[in-house]
Structure 1
Amino acid sequence: MTALETRHLVKRFGGFTATHDVSLSIRKGARHALIGPNGAGKTTLINLFTGVFAPTSGQILLDGEDITTLPAHARVARGLSRTFQINQLFGDFTPLDSMMLAIGERKGHGRRFWRPLAADRDVAEEAVATLEQFGLADAMSNETKLLPYGKQRLLEIALAIAAKPKVLLLDEPAAGVPEEEREEVLAIVRALPEDVTVVLIEHDMDLVFSFADRISVLAAGALFAEGTVEEIARNPQVKAIYLGEDT
């Protein structure tokens, strides 16, 4: 079964083609990595998946449903969540505040503005349990802007998971994380729920090779190669384009 699919996807910005005829099929439950050199079109593709950009042509399907023209919030409601290269957190909120808002919105409580979220015990209990799952229990009452950067990255992933996604798009989750905090972030990424399809964009090849069961390689906006970890690791053309090695 296919979780996320693109068909002949094209995105042009004026005369520049950022995404060129990308047809991609990601199976349910996959751990799928998108790799490629800087400027290959990886983040543009994620922005197309999530509705930040509208494609010039082509289709995007989630669970077999055409979502090409849906706005971003409608895609989230249908089970598509993401994180960003640079986190999009509210610095003055605590992790518990942010988590309760995310869970409350999913449950439809966000529209009940006359009732404090704290009055919803089920929201509070789920928020605390999720923060504990992501190693954030000790920091749940601190302002987010005061957290170490690795903890902020964990919180962003936790908030994406709180939406109960079918497909989770992780845009460089280890980017900018200090070395001493990276292992905690990587361990959480590897331990994400098996029923969630995860698409990972990452330059850290150790993480890619330890996480992915399938890899797609982008170059100049086009799908250049695709295969298992072993197939991609020994592909001389991928080494030449991505790693800068001679074939």
Structure 2
Amino acid sequence: MTIALETKGLVKRFGGLQATDNVSFQLQQGARHALIGPNGAGKTTFINLLTGVIKPTAGQIFLEGQDITGLRPELRVQRGLARTFQINQLFPAMTPLETIGLAVSERTGGGRDWWRVTGSRREIIDEIVEIAQRFRLTDVLDEKTSNLAYGKQRLLEIAVAFACRPRVLLLDEPAAGVPEAERHELLATVAALPRDVSVLLIEHDMDLVFSFADRITVMVNGALFTEGTVEEVSTDPRVRAVYLGESVDE
């Protein structure tokens, strides 16, 4: 299979703390891949390294075979790597229509005149409508973001990332804080994205992980602990020991 995203020997040290320890990882093209691990395992640090928020101490990052280790975050987005955050980064006074329009216009060169470009170009309007439909936002397009239900806010944040037309989408706990009734809708929407978008999901809710992912990587203490299919990871006694403190027979 084609590799969409890859790391080789990725290390990050903060002083004497080694946050990631020689992480070599592959995300296959079209995958629905989950990254799990206990608190403090280094998952968010790993995502921050992938997206260029922080620089690695050692190792390399490849996007579709191209070395992006030294690229700034915005250049990685332009190359097709987008993300969401644990805490949403939305503008509360803007509507979903404006927010998605800003993202589409920025990508297509509208820049600071995004409001004028959005209203004057039919293709941008059509793309906003298509994204809103895909992420179930058509009924709230003209509502202030601050007034949206939290599940809708999380869908909007993913929609903004999708508006960048990524080929790799990194989702950092997208269901955190979302009511139970809305979580499965959120992940079902992500799972239904076109397969030319490869998705790496960080999530603590194991039910969501098992229903979403076709492959799971477990990280512990900054290092890759194990990787496999949902069935392999869910039945691995070592993973249960990490999460539940159960003993493992020698």
TM range (shorter): over 0.9
SS of equivalent residue, structure 2 residue 35 = strand
Match of 2:72 in 1: 71
TM-superposed CA distance for 1:114, in Å, is: 9.4
Q: Distance in 1 between matches of 2:221 and 2:137?
A: 39
Letter in 2 for 1:220: N
> Which one is further off, 176-185 or 192-201?
176-185
Deviations 1:45-72 (A, max 9, x none): 0000000000001000000000001000
Residue 210 to residue 113, structure 1, CA distance change in 2 (3 Å): closer
Within 2, Cα distance between the matches of 1:25 and 1:215?
11
2 CA distance for matches of 1:204 and 1:114?
38
Greater Cα offset, 20-29 or 119-128 = 119-128
CA-CA distance at 1:186 after TM superposition: 2.3
Query: Greater shift after overlay, 149-158 or 118-127?
Result: 118-127
Alpha-carbon separation, structure 2, partners of 1:204 and 1:73: 30
Matches for 1:117-136 after TM superposition, within 5 Å: 117-136=118-137
Alpha-carbon distance in structure 1 between the residues aligned to 2:98 and 2:244: 42
Counterpart in 1 of 2:47? 46
Q: Does 1:149 align with 2:150?
A: yes
Q: Secondary structure at 1:29's aligned position in 2?
A: coil
**What displacement does 1:210 show?**
1.1
Gaps of 5+ in 2: none
Superposed counterparts of 1:2-21, under 5 Å: 2-21=3-22
The AA in structure 1 aligned to 2:46 is L
Conserved in 1, the CA contact under 8 Å of 2:106 and 2:114?
Answer: no
Residues 25 and 44 of structure 1: CA distance in aligned 2, closer, same or farther (over 3 Å) = same
Residue 37 of structure 1: aligned partner: 38
Q: Note the 1:126-205 alignment, pairs <5 A.
A: 126-205=127-206
3-state SS, counterpart of residue 242 of structure 2? helix
Shift of 1:111: 5.6
| Cα distance between partner residues in 2 of 1:206 and 1:112 | 43
> How many residue pairs are counted as aligned between the two chains?
247
Q: Name the counterpart of 1:108.
A: 109
User: What is the TM-score of this pair, normalised by structure 2?
Assistant: 0.95
Structure 1: gaps (5+ residues): none
Kindly state the Cα deviation for residue 216 of structure 1 after the two structures are TM-superposed.
Answer: 0.7
Kindly provide the CA deviation profile for residues 202-240 of structure 1, in whole angstroms up to 9, marking residues without a partner as x. 011111111111111100000111111111111111110
CA root-mean-square deviation: 1.3
Give the TM-score normalised by the residue count of structure 1. 0.96
Deviations 1:130-157 (A, max 9, x none): 1111111010001101100000000011
Answering whether residue 218 of structure 2 is matched by residue 217 of structure 1, we say yes
C-alpha change, 1:34 and 1:182, in structure 2 (3 Å) is: same
Q: Secondary structure at the match of 1:91?
A: coil
Distance (whole Å) between structure 1 residues aligned to residue 22 and residue 180 of structure 2: 37
